[in-house]
Structure 1
C-alpha cells in the first residue's frame, strides 16, 4: 500500500486499517428487509405493514445480544439471533410462527445476507482500499458478511465476523480482538460508523473514529444519528466523502 496515511488526532498514530460498521453504514438494511417482508406477507395473505415490521425485527437486535455481552448466555451467531427475533416479531404482530413453514421463515431470515449497499459504499470502499486495509467490524457472523460481500460486490480485504471474536459490539473485546487479529495497535485502526454509540465504544477502546451520515437508515422519519455527537477524527457525509478526506491526509 502506498500513499500518505491519515494520522489520527485522537490516537496519535497513522491509520493502517479502516473498518466499517455494516448494517446501516455500508448497506441499507431497512429497504431490503421491508421488501422481503412485503413479499412474504403477500404470498401468505398476511396483513402487515412491512416497514413497521422491519423496524420491529431490527428493534430486537441489540436487546437480543445483551445476554451474550453480559455472560448470561453462551455466544450464538447473529444468524441465530435474527431467526429468533423473527419469530418474536411475528408473535408481537399477532402471527404464530408455528403456523408457518420453518424453511420459508429461515429463507426470509437469510435476507440479512443479501442486503444492498448504499450507492456510495462500493466506490468509496474501493477508493479507500488503495491505501488502507478495509473490512467490516460488524456484529454479523463471518458467513453472513461473506455472502453479503459476494452478493453486493463489496471489496473487503478481510472479513472478521463476530463469531471470531465471540462477542458483540459495543463490548470492548469486539474492537480490541479485531485489531489484534490484524496485528495492529488499536490506535492504527479506524472504525467508520453511522452510529454515535458504536463510535463512542470504539473510541473508549482506543480506536480512531469516523462518523458516516446515513439520514435514511431508519426511514424518512429518522430522529437519531443525524449528526456527530462526539469528538470523532472525521465526520463524513458518506463513504466517498470519507475516502476524499482520507486521501487528503497530510504527513503526520
Structure 2
C-alpha cells in the first residue's frame, strides 16, 4: 500500500509533540524560579480552549491573516484576565507565549521520524507558524526535510489550500502525499482532497479524561500505534 507515497506530512501539536504535558512541565519549573503561584494546568487548558475559536476568526475573515504566535499571545492575555492574574512584564509574558516553541516530542517521535525520513520526504503540516516549527524541531530533534507551516499558505487547516499547498510545493499529486494525524477531522479533510491518511491515537493529548480521537473513525490507509510503528508498517 505504500507504493506511490512520496511524502508524509504530519499534524504536529498532539500528533508529534506533547503540547499539554510540555507546557505544564516547562512553566511549572519556570514559575517556581519566578516566584509565581499559578495553576499552569488551568492556564494551558483555558489557553488551548481558545485555539479553534481564534483560528475560526481568521478562517471566516473576521480577522486578517494572523499567525499563531500572535493569536496565542492575544489568547494568553485573555486567560490571565479571566483567571484574575495580573499581566507580567512583556519579557515574561513573551517567555510564556514562546513555550509553544519549546515543546517536547512524544517518546517515539524523534526515532520514528528519523526512520521515516530514510524513505519519504517528511515535514509538518501545522497551523503553527514557521518560527514555532523551526524552533520546536531544534528543541525536540524533529528531522524535517521542510516545514509546511500554514503561514506559508495564509490559511489554517482544514482549509483545502493547506493540504493542496503542500502538493503544489512538492510538485506531487495528492495521492503521492500522506497526511498523518491524531485527529480524525484533519485526515478527513485531507482524504477529501485525494491525499492518503494515517492515524495515530494519542489518548493523553488533552490529559486525563480525553474523550475525542481515541480511535480511528474511518478506514484510514494506515492506523498505527505510534510513529515507530508507522515506520515499521511502511518498511522503514
Is the pair's TM-score, using the shorter chain for normalization, greater than 0.5?
A: yes
* Per-residue deviation, 1:62: 1.1
* Per-residue deviation, 1:149: 0.6
Query: In structure 1, what is the Cα distance between the partners aligned to 2:58 and 2:232?
Result: 38
Note if 1:156 corresponds to 2:147: no
* Per-residue deviation, 1:92: 1.7
Label 1:39 to 1:90 Cα distance change in 2 as closer, same or farther (>3 A).
farther
Query: In structure 1, what is the Cα distance between the partners aligned to 2:169 and 2:29?
Result: 40
Aligned to 1:11: none
Tell me the TM-score normalized by structure 1.
Answer: 0.89
Note if 1:190 corresponds to 2:178: yes
* Per-residue deviation, 1:40: 5.1
Query: In structure 2, what is the Cα distance between the partners aligned to 1:221 and 1:38?
Result: 21
1:81 to 71, 82, 85: 71
Contact 1:53 1:89 in 2 (8 A): yes
Query: In structure 1, what is the Cα distance between the partners aligned to 2:140 and 2:146?
Result: 15
Tell me the TM-score normalized by structure 2.
Answer: 0.95
Note if 1:45 corresponds to 2:42: no
Note if 1:31 corresponds to 2:31: no
Aligned to 1:19: 9
Note if 1:132 corresponds to 2:123: no
Note if 1:221 corresponds to 2:217: no
* Per-residue deviation, 1:162: 1.6
Count of equivalent residues: 235
Aligned to 1:10: none
- Counterparts of 1:115-130 in structure 2, within 5 Å, are 115-130=103-118
Label 1:150 to 1:41 Cα distance change in 2 as closer, same or farther (>3 A).
closer
Query: In structure 1, what is the Cα distance between the partners aligned to 2:145 and 2:104?
Result: 19
Query: In structure 1, what is the Cα distance between the partners aligned to 2:83 and 2:27?
Result: 13
- Counterparts of 1:193-204 in structure 2, within 5 Å, are 193-204=181-192
Contact 1:165 1:178 in 2 (8 A): no
